[in-house]
Amino acid sequence: MSGGLVANVEDIDAFLKTLKRQKKYAKATHNSWAVFQSDGTQRKNDDGESGAGNVILRMLEREGLTDQIIVVTRWYGGKHLGGDRFRHVQTCVKAYLDALG
């Protein structure tokens, strides 16, 4: 998982572009992300991991954390996770939020 401060759409695009320049993220199966902006705008992208962006967004909203993008990255390992994928996304987002203090 990755994250950082973003003030606008340009910052979001720049953050994602920089992230995906790194080989490991560029080769990832999914880079799901979300940001809840201070003006109330909600942005998210599942990147093929249906529902993941919404999970991230709801956790950001509950924390009241704005202008912070969180990207949860996953590499497909040959096993379909089903509903477990949401628990993994939640675990990653919680770890990121805990690290912010």
Is 2-100 CATH 3.40.50.300?
Answer: no
Q: What pLDDT, on the 0 to 100 scale, is given for residue 82?
A: 67
Model pLDDT, residue 74: 85
Q: What percent of the chain has pLDDT over 90?
A: 73
Q: Taking the CB of residue 64, how many other CB atoms lie within 10 A of it?
A: 7
pLDDT in tens, 41-89: 999 999 988 899 999 999 999 999 999 999 999 887 677 766 677 788 8
Paired strand residues for 42: 36
- Two structure tokens written together for 5: 């401060």
Q: From residue 21, how far is each of 61, 74, 100 by CA, in Å?
A: 28, 16, 24
- Predicted confidence at residue 1, as pLDDT, reads 87
**C-alpha triplet 19, 23, 26: angle, nearest 5°:** 60
